[in-house]
């Protein structure tokens, strides 16, 4: 499948066979898995996964890549191709037999964060997700409170999922080579949330509000929603900064509002 990578789609095609094998091994596919691949591109990962599952659904936005995928489908009728935008795709439609989805993808750097947030809204129908992302994004997802990397992405992903950073992928594993390192991450949605927000939308608003002024104290960045006394009422010092709070603490603050 010859295709020139397009910057507007954030395309960097994985070409390293060793990395591809390692990704497939990390996923641990079973024949009956309901597998969905986002952005199959030239099919490097797709070709390795197809023989291992009974059915593989792929979502590809770039029409120029569909022809190559159709050629692959001629050898593997179990390949189902969706020429669609993953940001607008209804993943619940693929869950019609109640079997949870396993989602895989080499996600474009330019849309990875909003796409992750979109997928979190489908966490109830997803068993796990394995993604190739910019290393910095994976580190933010897996960040601990107080380390300086914690942010809105950290809290909202960890609220919904267990986060496991698996391994680093160097730039030379791609064509064209990105300017940064990548990493593989596993996100496993909780079957039961460890900490339950009474109103998840309120929590999302509160977290966004907090990290929009992350260098300020909670007293200052949350003053439109909570006063110092309310923050103290759940055992949190209002002089702390947002990046020092755990998911549990953000849930406690959100539940004060709702």
pLDDT tens-digit profile of 106-142? 888 888 999 999 999 999 999 999 999 999 999 999 9
If you average pLDDT over every residue of the chain, what do you get? 92
H or E stretch at 157: helix 152-160
From 142, 169, 189, give the residue that closes a domain. Answer: 189
- 179 and 247 share a domain? no
- 155 and 30 share a domain? yes
Q: Give the global pTM.
A: 0.92
What would the pLDDT profile of 19-38 be if each residue is shown by its tens digit?
A: 999 999 999 999 999 999 99
From 189, 217, 234, give the residue that closes a domain. Answer: 189
Tell me if 160 is assigned to some domain. Answer: yes
Overall number of domains in the chain: 2
What would the pLDDT profile of 61-92 be if each residue is shown by its tens digit?
A: 999 999 999 999 999 999 999 999 999 999 99
Does 4 score more than 70 pLDDT?
A: no
Does 9 score more than 70 pLDDT?
A: no
- 56 and 168 share a domain? yes
- 109 and 205 share a domain? no
What would the pLDDT profile of 199-208 be if each residue is shown by its tens digit?
A: 999 999 999 9
User: For residue 60, how many other CB atoms are within 10 A of its CB?
Assistant: 24
* Domain encompassing residue 47: 7-189
Q: Tell me what pLDDT residue 1 has.
A: 42
Q: Give the residue from 14, 24, 101, 121 showing the smallest Cα distance to 57.
A: 101
Tell me if 2 is assigned to some domain. Answer: no
CATH assignment of the domain containing 248 = 1.10.8.100
Cα 246 from Cα 145, distance rounded (Å): 6
Q: Tell me what pLDDT residue 139 has.
A: 97
């Amino acid at each position: 499948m010859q295709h020139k990578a397009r910057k507007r789609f954030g395309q960097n095609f994985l070409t390293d066979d060793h990395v591809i094998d390692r990704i497939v091994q990390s996923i641990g596919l079973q024949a009956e898995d309901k597998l969905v691949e986002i952005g199959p591109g030239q099919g490097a990962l797709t070709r390795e996964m197809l023989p291992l599952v009974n059915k593989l659904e792929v979502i590809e936005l770039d029409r120029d890549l569909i022809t190559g995928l159709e050629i692959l489908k001629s050898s593997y009728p179990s390949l189902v191709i969706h020429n669609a935008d993953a940001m607008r795709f209804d993943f619940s439609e693929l869950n019609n037999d109640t079997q949870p989805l396993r989602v895989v993808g080499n996600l474009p750097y330019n849309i990875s964060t909003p796409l992750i947030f979109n997928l979190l809204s489908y966490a109830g129908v997803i068993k796990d997700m394995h993604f190739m992302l910019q290393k910095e994004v994976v580190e933010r997802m897996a960040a601990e409170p107080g380390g300086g990397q914690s942010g809105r992405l950290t809290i909202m992903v960890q609220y919904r999922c267990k986060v496991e950073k698996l391994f680093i992928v160097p730039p030379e594993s791609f064509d064209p080579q990105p300017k940064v390192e990548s990493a593989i991450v596993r996100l496993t949605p909780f079957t039961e949330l460890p900490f339950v927000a009474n109103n998840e939308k309120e929590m999302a608003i509160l977290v966004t509000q907090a990290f929009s002024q992350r260098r300020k104290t909670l007293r200052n960045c949350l003053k439109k929603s909570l006063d110092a006394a309310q923050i103290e009422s759940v055992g949190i010092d209002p002089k702390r900064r947002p990046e020092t709070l755990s998911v549990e603490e953000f849930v406690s603050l959100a539940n004060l509002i709702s």
